[in-house]
Amino acid sequence: MRRSGPAGLLLALGLGACGDLDALRRLGDEGPGLSQHRRADALRVGTHVPPVGEVEAVGALAERVRRGTPAFAGLVRCTDPRVVFKDEEGTGADRWMTPRLRAKVVSLGERVRREWPGVELRVTEAWDEDAEHGDRSLHYEGRAADLTTSDLDPRKLGRLAALAVEGGFGWVYHEPTHVHASVPR
Protein backbone atom coordinates (compact mmCIF):
# COMPACT_ATOMS: atom_id res chain seq x y z
CA MET A 1 0.00 0.00 0.00
CA ARG A 2 1.50 3.34 -1.03
CA ARG A 3 0.09 6.57 0.30
CA SER A 4 0.75 9.95 -1.16
CA GLY A 5 1.12 13.30 0.49
CA PRO A 6 2.60 14.12 3.91
CA ALA A 7 0.97 11.20 5.74
CA GLY A 8 2.30 8.72 3.19
CA LEU A 9 5.78 10.19 3.38
CA LEU A 10 5.79 9.98 7.16
CA LEU A 11 4.46 6.45 7.01
CA ALA A 12 7.23 5.49 4.60
CA LEU A 13 9.69 6.65 7.24
CA GLY A 14 7.91 4.60 9.89
CA LEU A 15 6.62 7.54 11.89
CA GLY A 16 2.94 6.83 11.45
CA ALA A 17 0.38 8.81 9.56
CA CYS A 18 0.37 11.98 11.62
CA GLY A 19 0.20 14.24 8.57
CA ASP A 20 2.60 16.78 10.09
CA LEU A 21 5.28 18.06 7.71
CA ASP A 22 7.13 19.63 10.64
CA ALA A 23 7.45 16.14 12.13
CA LEU A 24 9.25 15.08 8.98
CA ARG A 25 11.68 17.96 9.32
CA ARG A 26 12.30 17.02 12.98
CA LEU A 27 13.14 13.39 12.26
CA GLY A 28 16.48 13.82 13.98
CA ASP A 29 14.67 14.71 17.22
CA GLU A 30 12.31 11.76 17.05
CA GLY A 31 14.80 8.99 17.84
CA PRO A 32 16.52 6.28 15.86
CA GLY A 33 15.73 5.40 12.28
CA LEU A 34 13.99 2.33 10.97
CA SER A 35 15.24 -0.72 9.21
CA GLN A 36 14.16 -1.29 5.61
CA HIS A 37 12.24 -4.46 6.54
CA ARG A 38 10.27 -2.82 9.34
CA ARG A 39 9.45 0.14 7.08
CA ALA A 40 8.24 -2.29 4.43
CA ASP A 41 6.04 -4.01 7.03
CA ALA A 42 4.62 -0.64 8.07
CA LEU A 43 3.83 0.24 4.47
CA ARG A 44 2.22 -3.15 3.86
CA VAL A 45 -0.12 -3.00 6.85
CA GLY A 46 -0.39 0.80 7.16
CA THR A 47 0.62 0.93 10.82
CA HIS A 48 3.16 2.72 12.93
CA VAL A 49 6.22 0.72 14.00
CA PRO A 50 8.61 1.76 16.73
CA PRO A 51 12.05 2.87 15.60
CA VAL A 52 15.02 0.52 15.80
CA GLY A 53 18.65 1.32 16.26
CA GLU A 54 21.26 1.27 13.55
CA VAL A 55 22.98 -1.84 14.90
CA GLU A 56 19.69 -3.78 14.94
CA ALA A 57 18.94 -2.63 11.40
CA VAL A 58 22.29 -3.10 9.62
CA GLY A 59 24.65 -4.79 12.07
CA ALA A 60 27.43 -3.62 14.33
CA LEU A 61 30.90 -2.44 13.39
CA ALA A 62 33.09 -5.50 12.79
CA GLU A 63 36.46 -3.74 12.54
CA ARG A 64 37.92 -0.32 11.83
CA VAL A 65 39.26 -0.25 8.30
CA ARG A 66 42.71 1.26 7.94
CA ARG A 67 44.61 2.15 4.77
CA GLY A 68 46.95 -0.55 3.54
CA THR A 69 45.11 -3.42 5.26
CA PRO A 70 43.23 -6.30 3.58
CA ALA A 71 39.97 -4.75 4.81
CA PHE A 72 40.82 -1.50 3.01
CA ALA A 73 41.24 -3.49 -0.22
CA GLY A 74 37.52 -4.34 0.13
CA LEU A 75 36.49 -0.67 -0.11
CA VAL A 76 35.79 0.99 -3.44
CA ARG A 77 36.21 4.60 -4.51
CA CYS A 78 33.09 6.48 -5.58
CA THR A 79 34.07 8.46 -8.66
CA ASP A 80 30.60 9.30 -9.93
CA PRO A 81 31.01 12.88 -11.20
CA ARG A 82 27.40 13.65 -10.29
CA VAL A 83 28.01 13.17 -6.56
CA VAL A 84 29.76 16.01 -4.73
CA PHE A 85 32.21 15.18 -1.93
CA LYS A 86 33.06 17.68 0.80
CA ASP A 87 36.52 16.18 1.46
CA GLU A 88 37.28 18.43 4.41
CA GLU A 89 40.31 16.26 5.24
CA GLY A 90 41.79 16.75 1.78
CA THR A 91 42.65 13.03 1.55
CA GLY A 92 39.73 11.76 -0.54
CA ALA A 93 38.71 9.48 2.35
CA ASP A 94 35.03 10.35 1.89
CA ARG A 95 35.06 8.74 -1.55
CA TRP A 96 35.99 5.33 -0.05
CA MET A 97 33.11 3.05 0.96
CA THR A 98 31.79 -0.46 0.65
CA PRO A 99 30.49 -1.49 -2.77
CA ARG A 100 26.94 -1.68 -1.35
CA LEU A 101 27.14 1.87 0.04
CA ARG A 102 28.54 3.16 -3.25
CA ALA A 103 25.64 1.63 -5.18
CA LYS A 104 23.12 3.26 -2.82
CA VAL A 105 24.90 6.64 -2.94
CA VAL A 106 25.00 6.66 -6.76
CA SER A 107 21.33 5.64 -6.93
CA LEU A 108 20.38 8.31 -4.39
CA GLY A 109 22.30 10.85 -6.47
CA GLU A 110 20.00 10.03 -9.39
CA ARG A 111 16.92 10.44 -7.18
CA VAL A 112 18.20 13.82 -5.96
CA ARG A 113 18.73 15.06 -9.53
CA ARG A 114 15.20 13.99 -10.50
CA GLU A 115 13.70 15.61 -7.39
CA TRP A 116 15.63 18.90 -7.66
CA PRO A 117 17.02 19.57 -11.16
CA GLY A 118 20.38 21.31 -10.92
CA VAL A 119 21.04 20.01 -7.39
CA GLU A 120 23.49 17.19 -6.63
CA LEU A 121 23.82 14.78 -3.73
CA ARG A 122 26.64 15.89 -1.42
CA VAL A 123 28.55 13.42 0.77
CA THR A 124 30.05 15.18 3.77
CA GLU A 125 31.47 12.02 5.33
CA ALA A 126 31.73 8.36 4.37
CA TRP A 127 34.74 6.26 5.41
CA ASP A 128 36.38 7.90 8.44
CA GLU A 129 40.09 7.27 8.89
CA ASP A 130 40.60 10.13 11.37
CA ALA A 131 38.43 8.79 14.25
CA GLU A 132 36.02 11.74 14.19
CA HIS A 133 32.96 9.65 15.12
CA GLY A 134 31.85 7.60 18.10
CA ASP A 135 33.71 4.40 18.98
CA ARG A 136 31.32 2.06 17.14
CA SER A 137 30.51 4.23 14.12
CA LEU A 138 29.91 2.46 10.83
CA HIS A 139 31.86 5.27 9.15
CA TYR A 140 35.01 3.41 10.26
CA GLU A 141 33.96 0.46 8.11
CA GLY A 142 32.82 2.52 5.11
CA ARG A 143 29.18 1.46 5.59
CA ALA A 144 27.75 4.88 6.51
CA ALA A 145 27.50 8.25 4.81
CA ASP A 146 26.45 11.69 5.96
CA LEU A 147 24.50 13.41 3.21
CA THR A 148 23.20 16.84 2.23
CA THR A 149 22.40 18.50 -1.08
CA SER A 150 24.87 20.59 -3.06
CA ASP A 151 22.84 23.75 -2.42
CA LEU A 152 23.13 23.17 1.36
CA ASP A 153 19.39 23.85 1.80
CA PRO A 154 18.43 22.40 5.21
CA ARG A 155 14.75 22.44 4.17
CA LYS A 156 15.53 19.60 1.76
CA LEU A 157 16.87 17.22 4.44
CA GLY A 158 13.50 15.69 5.32
CA ARG A 159 12.81 14.85 1.70
CA LEU A 160 16.40 13.67 1.24
CA ALA A 161 15.84 11.24 4.13
CA ALA A 162 12.68 9.99 2.43
CA LEU A 163 14.56 9.52 -0.85
CA ALA A 164 17.21 7.51 1.02
CA VAL A 165 14.49 5.31 2.51
CA GLU A 166 12.92 4.83 -0.91
CA GLY A 167 16.38 4.05 -2.31
CA GLY A 168 16.81 1.11 0.04
CA PHE A 169 19.41 2.23 2.56
CA GLY A 170 19.30 -0.13 5.53
CA TRP A 171 19.00 2.65 8.13
CA VAL A 172 18.29 6.36 7.72
CA TYR A 173 18.48 9.05 10.39
CA HIS A 174 17.65 12.73 9.85
CA GLU A 175 20.03 14.81 11.94
CA PRO A 176 19.77 18.59 12.26
CA THR A 177 22.48 19.32 9.67
CA HIS A 178 22.53 16.21 7.47
CA VAL A 179 21.06 12.78 6.80
CA HIS A 180 22.98 9.78 8.11
CA ALA A 181 22.40 6.61 6.06
CA SER A 182 23.97 3.19 6.38
CA VAL A 183 23.89 -0.23 4.79
CA PRO A 184 24.30 -3.81 6.00
CA ARG A 185 27.63 -5.60 5.61
- pLDDT confidence of 113, banded at 50, 70, 90? very high
- pLDDT confidence of 123, banded at 50, 70, 90? very high
Q: What digits encode the pLDDT tens for the residues 23-39? A: 333 433 333 454 444 44
Q: How far apart are CA 160 and CA 106, in angstroms?
A: 14
**Structural domain of 176:** 5-182
Q: How far apart are CA 19 and CA 9, in angstroms?
A: 9
Domain containing 174 — which CATH number? 3.30.1380.10
- For residues 117-142, average pLDDT: 94
pLDDT at 3: 29
User: How many domains is the chain partitioned into structurally?
Assistant: 1
Given a contact cutoff of 8 angstroms between Cβ atoms, the answer to whether 149 and 126 are in contact is: no
Share of the chain above pLDDT 70, in %: 73
pTM: 0.74
CA 70 and chain centroid, separation? 26
pLDDT at 160: 98
- For residues 52-60, average pLDDT: 94
- For residues 55-77, average pLDDT: 95
Q: How far apart are CA 28 and CA 172, in angstroms?
A: 10
